[in-house]
């Protein structure tokens, strides 16, 4: 890519249009050759990007990068329209985690309340959006974090909505008051009841996608609501650990291990974690560890927790 086009692309998330390529000195045949041999790829019709080798980047990161490119391409197409990036697309730009959200479609909102034309891969919502609910990210008009969380919660599954709401609250991107105001604004929207339930359930103390999903699992499986991120001490009052979930009534601690694999961890990390658990057990607590794969077997995982309740009661 020549320097002129590189500057243009850098201002739009790496995306450039055919017209911009021509104005930067590329001929029709040069554009065709680059698309043909893979040096350039199409993100939307008439809009391209130059691929970068992402190496061992996780697949979900690649999907987010692809969605960001699609957002920039869509906003180039709609540059003359009064639109803002919204819903889960806005969450992606705000770097709020999205879990199992459909990223094959870019979401925008016509802020003047008018309906947009239906286009494959683009969902144009209609709403009158106050200026305070719009922010600028890299030159793009984007729904504010609070509005994006509430909008997305109307269209996402409950678990997915909780994941994003937890993360936004934990990062301080939204407040309860902002969420309450917007929930009142969208009270007659389709999905508003689901959004209200997800925001009510959201917990800013959740520290990862996995912890958010595990809280939803507890709720769906009929387990009591645990205390989250609780600091525990030993019998002498000395700090022992800050635990993810504490079922105080049952004397059971549940820890979520989303990233650490003991076989890959340094020996001192493994030893320290074992001592930590030993001190919790010395307090008479039962410790249950849950890993990412356990979230795919909710009934079995919930039963492990119930078995721990029974074990604690028998002890």
Q: From first to last of the 315 residues of the chain, give the pLDDT tens digit.
A: 899 999 999 988 899 999 999 999 999 999 999 999 999 999 988 999 998 876 777 888 889 999 999 999 999 988 878 999 999 999 999 999 999 999 999 999 999 888 877 788 899 999 889 999 999 999 999 999 999 999 999 999 999 999 999 999 999 999 999 999 999 999 999 999 999 999 999 999 999 999 999 999 999 999 999 999 999 987 788 888 899 999 999 999 999 986 554 445 555 555 566 677 777 887 888 999 999 999 999 999 999 999 999 999 987
Strands 286-291 and 252-257: parallel
CA dist., res. 212 & res. 302, Å (int): 15
Which of 82, 130, 121, 74 minimizes the C-alpha distance to 102?
121
Beta bridge partners of 140: 137
Tell me, what's the pLDDT at 262? Answer: 47
pLDDT value of residue 25: 95
Confidence (pTM): 0.87
- Residue whose tokens read 């990068």: 65
**Positive or negative: CA dihedral 188, 194, 136, 71:** negative
Q: Where are the domains of the chain?
A: 3-49, 59-202, 210-314
| Residue 235: predicted pLDDT | 78
The dotted CATH code for 210-314 is: 3.40.960.10
Q: Is 147 helix (H, G, I), strand (E, B) or coil?
A: helix
């Amino acid at each position: 890519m020549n320097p002129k086009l590189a500057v243009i692309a850098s201002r739009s998330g790496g995306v450039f249009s055919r017209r911009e390529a021509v104005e930067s000195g590329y001929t029709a045949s040069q554009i065709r050759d680059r698309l043909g041999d893979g040096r350039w790829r199409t993100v939307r019709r008439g809009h391209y990007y130059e691929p970068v080798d992402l190496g061992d980047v996780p697949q979900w990161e690649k999907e987010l990068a692809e969605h960001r490119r699609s957002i920039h391409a869509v906003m180039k197409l709609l540059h003359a329209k009064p639109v803002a990036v919204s819903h889960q697309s806005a969450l992606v730009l705000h770097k709020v985690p999205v879990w199992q959200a459909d990223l094959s479609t870019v979401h925008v909102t016509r802020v003047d309340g008018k309906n947009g034309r239906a286009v494959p891969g683009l969902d144009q919502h209609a709403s009158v959006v106050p200026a305070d609910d719009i922010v600028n990210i890299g030159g793009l008009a984007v729904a504010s974090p609070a509005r994006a969380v509430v909008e997305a919660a109307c269209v996402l599954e409950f678990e997915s909505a909780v994941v994003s709401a937890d993360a936004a609250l934990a990062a301080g991107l939204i407040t309860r008051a902002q969420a309450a105001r917007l929930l009142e604004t969208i009270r007659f929207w389709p999905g508003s009841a689901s959004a209200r339930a997800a925001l009510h359930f959201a917990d800013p103390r959740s520290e990862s996608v996995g912890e958010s999903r595990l809280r939803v699992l507890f709720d769906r499986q009929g387990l009591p609501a645990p205390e989250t991120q609780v600091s525990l001490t030993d019998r002498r009052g000395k700090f022992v650990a800050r635990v993810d979930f504490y079922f105080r009534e049952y004397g059971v601690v549940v820890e979520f291990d989303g990233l650490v694999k003991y076989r890959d961890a340094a020996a001192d990390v493994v030893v320290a974690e074992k001592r930590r658990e030993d001190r919790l057990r010395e307090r008479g607590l039962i410790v249950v560890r849950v890993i990412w794969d356990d979230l795919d077997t909710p009934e079995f995982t919930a039963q492990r927790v119930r078995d721990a309740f029974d074990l604690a009661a028998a002890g």
